[in-house]
Structure 1
Amino acid sequence: MLHLLLPWLLLISNFEQSQSAIIESLPGFPGDLPFKLETGYVGVGELEEVQLFYYFIESERSPKDDPLLLWLTGGPGCSALSGLLFEIGPLQFDYSNSSGNKPVLKLNPYSWTKIANIIFLDAPVGTGFSYATTGTAYDNSDTSSAAQTYEFLRKWLMAHPKFLTNPLYITGDSYSGVIVPIIVKEVYDGNEAAREPPMNLKGYVLGNPVTCEVKDISQRIPYGHKMALVSDELYESTKTDCNGDYVNVDPTNGACLTDLEMVSICLEKIYLAQILEPMCSIISPNHTRLKWNRSIVEENIMDVVSVPQQSRPWCRSYNYLYSYIWANDRSVREALHVREGTKPEWDRCNYSLSYTKDILNSVVYHRYLSKTSLRALIYSGDHDLAVPYIGTLDWIRSLNLTLLGSWSPWFVEGQVAGYSILYSENSKYDLTYTTIKGGGHTAPEYKPKECFAMVDRWFSYYPL
C-alpha cells in the first residue's frame, strides 16, 4: 500500500498544515498526562471559513497497529468533550474530590483509547470549540455537516500520514446515527474513485443511533409498554386509535389525542436517557402538551444549581455541571490551545445551531453499505427511552440481511452484559447488533466496563 501513497505524500510539503498542539498537562489533573493528547483546528470549506476543533488521543497500547476511530457525539451540537469526559475517553471527573469551582480529573480505567487511536471532533460547526469566520458559514445541515467532516478527515490524515494504514472506523452515538452512515459512504466512494488520500476503511460503530426521528420517537410507546410504564389496555387503545402513528397525529382524531394525553401522564416524568434514574430537568413551557414526545436531548443545567442540595435527589445532570465549569475556565482553554475570542462560551450541547435536518431517514445509507465488504457494530443501552432498542432492531431487520445466529447473551466477568445477534450479506458485509444490559442512551456512560469489553472483542474480530 505504501507505494500507492508516495505520489501524494510529496504534496504534503505544499499542504497547509492544520494548527495543532501536543498537550502534556491539564488543569485539574495531577501531574503530566500519561497518554498523548493533541488538539487543533482543521479548516474546511472553499475558503476554510469553518474551523473544526478536535482532540486526538493516541492508543495507549500500540498506536501504529491499533484502529483509528473518528468519534462524533450526537445532538446535533453536543461537544466531543462530552464523549471524551463522560463516555469513552481516558479522563473523567473525580466527583468525590471535586468541589465548587474546582473540578478534579482522574483516569478512566475503561477508556477506549487503551485499544484505539481516537479523534474526537466538534462537529457540526458551532459545536464545542468549533467556529466559523462568517455568519453564513454557521448555516448547516445533515448533508453539509457530513461533507465537512469527510473533508476534515481527509485533511487530518494528510497531516498525519503515519495513521493512513491503521484500520479506520467511523463511530459515534445518538444523533450521529444520521451523520455517520453518510460519512462512511463518502469515504467508501472516495476510495472507489481513487480520491486522495486512500483510507483503510473497515467499518463503523453506532450507539443508540437516531435513524429516523419520527420512527424512533414513535417507538417510545411500545417500549414504554414493554417496560411496564404503559398499561396493556392503554397501549392497545392507543395503537388502535392512532393507527400506529404517534407523531404525525390527525388533530381531529380526538380518541388518539386522548390516549396520547394518558401516555404523557405515564411517561412525561421519566428520564429519557435512562428510565431508572431520576428526572431533574425543567420541561420548557413551549413544549407540546404531548410530553412523551419531547426532544431526544434535553438539559437545563441551571436547574442543577437552583434547588437546595439537601432537598434534591442525585441526578446525572449534576455530573455535567463540572464540564461547564472546567471547559469555560480560562486556564483550561489556554491549555487546550483554544483560539481566544472564537467562542464566548462552551456548551455541552449547543441548542441554538442554525441546522437543517435534511436526512429524514438514514436507513438508505445502511442499505447501500450492506452491499460492501465493511463491518458494522450497532449497540443499544436497553434502558434508553429516547431511542429505544426496539426501533433500532426494527430498521436493522428491514435491511433483510442473513441471520447468522440466534439472539444470545454475552458475558463480562461471568455476568450477562447484553444480548447480541449477527447478520451478514453475501458473506462480505457483517453487522453485529447488541444490547447493553442496564445501559442508557449513551451506553458507555452507564456501563463503561461492559462497553469496553464489547469494543475490545469486536475490533479484534472475536465473538462478543
Structure 2
Amino acid sequence: MYPRLILLKCATLLLLIFCRMALSQNVIETLPGYPGKLPFRLETGYIGIGESEEVQLFYYFIESERNPKDDPLMIWLTGGPACSGLSGLIYEMGPFTIDYSNSSGSLPALVYNPYSWTKVANIIYTDQPAGTGYSYAKSWEAYNTNDTLFAAHTYEFLRKWLIYHPKYLDNPLYIGGDSYTGIVVPLVVNKIYNAIEAGSHPPLNMKGYVLGNPLTNKYWDVNERIPYAHRMGLLSDNLFKSVKESCKGNYVHADPNNVLCQRNLERVAECLDKIRTSSILEPWCSLISKKQDLLSWDSSFEEETKNLLRLMNPFKRSWCRPDNYVYLYIWANDIFVQKALHVSEGTIKEWVRCNMSMHYNFEKRHGCYVFNVQSTVEYHRNFTHKHCRALIYSGDHDMVVPHTSTEKWIDSLNLTVQSDWKPWFVESQVAGYTEQYSHNDYQLTYATVKGAGHTGPEYNPMQCFAMVDRWFSELPL
C-alpha cells in the first residue's frame, strides 16, 4: 500500500504541474458597471483541451457565498448549442445581472442577484464548444465538433480544472445544464461514472445532475409541440383531432405527399406563427418577416443578429425579452470588460450570446457542429442503476421543450413513485408541481415551474432558487 500511495501522489503532482502549464486563472475583484468590490469570489481563465491544447475553453468560476468548503460543486452548461456561459450567469442564476433601470445605451450597469444559485453552490460556467463566447481554437480544424466531442471536452475540462483546484475534489459534484445540453449533460455524466469505475485519477465525488427544460430526444421533444399547443388552448379540439389523425401523430416527419396532413400542418402553423415558443405568454417581437419553422430546433432560438438587436429600441415599442439581450452584447464586447475578465486579446472577433452558425436541422451538418446523438433517454435509464440524484425541472409555459414531453420520457424509465404529483410552494404560493421517483440508490425529483418559460430561472428566479436550495439540501421541494 505504501509504494502505491507514493505513486498516486507522484501522479497527482505530475498532473498538477502539467495543468499549471495548460491553465490560466485570474481572480476578479471589480467589474466595469458594478459599484465597488464584488461581494463574491469570481475567477476566470482558460483551460487547454486536447493533446496539443488547440481548443481553449474560457470559464467563470464563482465560489459559494455560504460554505465553499462543503457546498456542492456544479459545472453549468448553457444550451444552444454554442450559447455562452455568460448568458446563463447573467440571465439565469449567477450572482450579478443587468441593472435595467439604471442602464442606457452606454456601458450597462450591473446589480447583485439575490436569487443566485451561488448562494448555495460553487458553480463553473463555461463557454462551450470552441467558437462560443470567449472560447476559441488555434486552428480552423479544431472548431469542428459534435455532441460526443462536446461531452468529451467537458469531461477533460472538468478533470483538469479539479486537478488545478484540488480543494474542491471532496465537494459533492453535480453536472448541470438546460435546453440543448439535455443531450450533452447525460453524455458527460456517463463519462464520469465510467471513469470512476475504471479507477481514473483523481477520483471525482460524483453525486448527480440537474437539467432544466432539457432536450432529451430530438424527435419526441419537437414532435410534442403540437399536442402541447392544443393542451394550452392554442389549437382547437377539431384542428388538433384532424392533424393528429391525418398525420398519424408524426408531425416532424410528416409524409409530404399526404395532402390532408400538409394542409392541417399549414393551419397549425398559421395559429402558432406569432407565438413565442420559449414563453407562450410573452410578446412575439422578431424583426425578421420570415415565418417560424415550428418543427425545427432553430425555431426555438429567437436570437436576432447583433445588428438587428441593436436596432431594437424598447422605448419606441412595447417591451420584448430580446431587448434584455442588447445590454449584454454591449457589456461583453466592451474592451475594458474584456480586460477585466482577462480575455486573451485578438482571440475572437466579437462576443455573441449564441453562435448561430452551430444551430441547424438535426439531420444535417452546419458550420462546424454535427448533431450526432439523437436521444439520451437510455443514458438516464442506465443512471437508475447508479448511486445518483437527479433534478429535472420544466418551465410549464415553454413550447421549445414542452414539459409534457419531459414527463413522458421520465415515465418511460419505469421508476417507483415515492411521492405523487403535488404542488410545491414559495412564500405560501404554488410555485409549480413536483413528483419524486426512485430505483435502488437512484433518486429523481421532477418539478414544473409555474408560469416559467424555456430557461426557468430567467423567468422565475425566486422560485427556482428555492427549488435548487431545497434539492441540494436533500429536502422536499
TM-score, normalising length: structure 2: 0.94
The change in CA–CA distance for 1:308 and 1:84 in structure 2 (over 3 A counts) is closer
1:461 aligns with 2:474: yes
Tell me which amino acid in the other structure corresponds to 1:14.
Answer: I
Residue 378 of structure 2 corresponds to 364
Q: Does 1:10 align with 2:13?
A: yes
CA deviations 1:388-417 (Å, max 9, x no partner) are 000000111111111112100010010000
* SS, match of residue 323 in structure 2: helix
CA–CA distance in structure 2, aligned partners of residues 294 and 12 of structure 1: 41
- Look up the match of 2:413: 399
Do 1:264 and 1:292's aligned partners in 2 also have CA atoms closer than 8 Å?
Answer: no
- Which residue in the other structure is 1:348 paired with? 353
Residues of 2 paired with 1:87 and 1:136: CA distance? Answer: 32
Partner of 1:78: 83
Tell me what 2:443 maps to: 430
| Aligned match of 1:33 | 38
Distance 1:293-1:193 versus aligned 2 partners, 3 A rule: closer
1:439 corresponds, among 452, 469, 473, to: 452
Q: After the TM superposition, which residues 68-217 of structure 1 pair with which residues of structure 2 at under 5 Å, given as runs?
A: 68-217=73-222
Are the counterparts in 2 of residues 94 and 105 from structure 1 also a CA contact under 8 Å? yes
Residue in structure 2 matched with residue 332 of structure 1 by the alignment: 337
Matches within 5 A, 1:22-61: 22-61=27-66
The answer for the alignment partner of 2:361 in structure 1 is: none
* Counterpart for residue 300 of structure 2: 296
User: Equivalent residue of 2:379, what SS?
Assistant: helix
Deviation digits for residues 69-100 of structure 1 (CA, Å, limit 9, x no counterpart): 00000000100000000000000000000011
Q: How far off its partner does 1:309 sit? A: 4.3
Alpha-carbon deviation of 1:142? Answer: 0.1
TM-score, structure 1 normalization: 0.96
Which whole-Å CA distance do the structure 1 matches of 2:417 and 2:389 have between them? 15
> Per the alignment, do residues 58 and 312 of structure 1 end up closer, same or farther by CA in structure 2, a change over 3 Å counting?
same
What's the CA shift for 1:367?
1.1
Q: Residue 253 in 1 paired to residue 258 in 2? A: yes
Map of 2:25 onto structure 1: 20
Q: Deviations over 1:188-211 (max 9, x none)?
A: 110111111100000000000011
CA distance in 2, matches of 1:266, 1:311: 27
- CA displacement at 1:16 relative to structure 2: 3.2
Partner Cα distance (2:211, 2:370) in 1:
22
Distance 1:379 1:430 in 2: 14
Instruction: Read off the aligned partner of 2:451 and give its amino acid letter.
Output: G
In structure 2, list runs of 5 or more residues that go unmatched.
359-367
Q: CA shift at 1:327, angstroms?
A: 0.3
Who is 2:362 aligned against?
A: none
- Give the whole-Å Cα distance in 1 for the aligned partners of 2:374 and 2:82: 17
Task: Compute the RMSD of aligned alpha carbons.
Answer: 1.6
Structure 1 residues 140 and 462 mapped into 2: Cα distance closer, same or farther (>3 Å)? same
Q: Shift in Å at residue 6 of structure 1?
A: 3.9
* Distance in 2 of aligned mates of 1:84 and 1:13: 28
Instruction: Summarize the Cα distance change of 1:199–1:453 in structure 2 as closer, same or farther, 3 Å threshold.
Output: same
- Structure 1 partner of 2:364: none
1:282 Cα offset (Å): 3.5
* Secondary structure at 1:53 match in 2: strand
Deviates more, 1:365-374 or 1:447-456: 365-374
Question: 1:287 deviation in Å?
Answer: 6.1
Q: Which amino acid aligns with 1:455?
A: V
Which residue identity lines up with residue 89 of structure 1 in the other structure? G
For 1:414, the aligned partner's letter is S
Whether contact under 8 Å (2:223, 2:295) holds in the other structure is no
Deviation string, structure 1 residues 238-289 (Cα, Å, up to 9, x no partner): 110000011001110111111111111111101111111101124464865x
Instruction: Tell me which amino acid in the other structure corresponds to 2:271.
Output: C
- Rounded to whole Å, the distance in 2 between the matches of 1:278 and 1:213 is 26
**Relative to structure 1, is the Cα distance of residues 182 and 120 closer, same or farther in structure 2, using a 3 angstrom cutoff?**
same
Letter matched to residue 393 of structure 1:
E
Whether 1:451 and 2:464 are equivalent positions in the alignment is yes
Number of residue-to-residue matches in the alignment: 460
- The question of whether the paired residues in 1 share the 8 Å contact of 2:278 and 2:399 is answered with yes
Amino acid paired to 1:297? F
SS in 2 for 1:272: coil
Change (3 A) 1:293 1:282: farther
Task: Verify the 8 A CA contact 1:8 1:197 in the aligned structure 2.
Answer: no
Q: Is the 8 A contact 1:418 1:434 kept in 2?
A: yes
Q: How far off is 1:371 after superposition? A: 1.2
SS at match of 1:119: strand
Q: Deviations over 1:22-73 (max 9, x none)?
A: 0010000011111110000000112110000000000001110100000000
Measured in 2, the distance between the counterparts of 1:302 and 1:236 equals 42
| Residue 177 of structure 1, CA deviation | 0.4
TM-aligned CA distance change 1:438 to 1:152, over 3 Å: same
Q: Kindly provide the amino acid, as one letter, of the partner of residue 429 in structure 2.
A: Q
In 1: Cα distance, 2:114 partner to 2:161 partner: 28
- 1:390 alignment partner in structure 2: 404
* Aligned-partner Cα distance in 2 for 1:447–1:58: 23
- Structure 2 contact 273–291 (Cα < 8 Å) conserved: no
**1:293, distance to aligned residue in structure 2 (A):** 7.3
What is the CA distance between 1:297 and its match in structure 2? Answer: 1.5
Q: Do the aligned residues in 1 keep the contact of 2:19 with 2:160 (CA within 8 Å)?
A: no
The residue type paired with residue 378 of structure 1 is I
Deviates further, 172-181 or 15-24: 15-24
Give the superposition deviation at 1:302.
Answer: 3.7
